[in-house]
Amino acid sequence: MALSYKSRRRWSLVILLVGLPLYIVAAVSVVNALGRPPIWVEFLVYVFLGFLWMLPFKFVFKGVGKADPEAEPPRED
């Protein structure tokens, strides 16, 4: 199922405004569950989790910053 450009823009906004803060809370909870590891281990866990969150949503964000490919080109009169 392919999403339209407009729906990808909407879903990307929802993911960034709702999903990302929830994921940050989950990531902090995971690190807290490990106890207090050395700072470099904690940094590596945060970097790994930072990249991990975006992998399932890559198709949603792809091309969102570009012009709408489904829109009509501007008319030159």
Q: Name the residue type at position 37.
A: P
Is the pLDDT at 16 greater than 70, yes or no?
Answer: yes
Per-residue tokens: 72: 């009509």
Instruction: Evaluate whether 52 touches 3 at the Cβ level (below 8 Å).
Output: no
Q: Looking at residue 56, what DSSP letter applies?
A: G
* pLDDT tens sequence across 17-64: 998 899 889 888 888 887 888 889 888 888 888 888 888 888 777 777
Q: What is the pLDDT of residue 1?
A: 58
Q: What is the pLDDT of residue 25?
A: 92
| Whole-model pTM over 0.75 | no
The beta-strand segments (E) located in the chain are none
Q: Give the separation between CA 26 and CA 61, rounded to whole angstroms.
A: 21
Is the pLDDT at 74 greater than 80, yes or no?
Answer: no
Per-residue tokens: 70: 């489904």
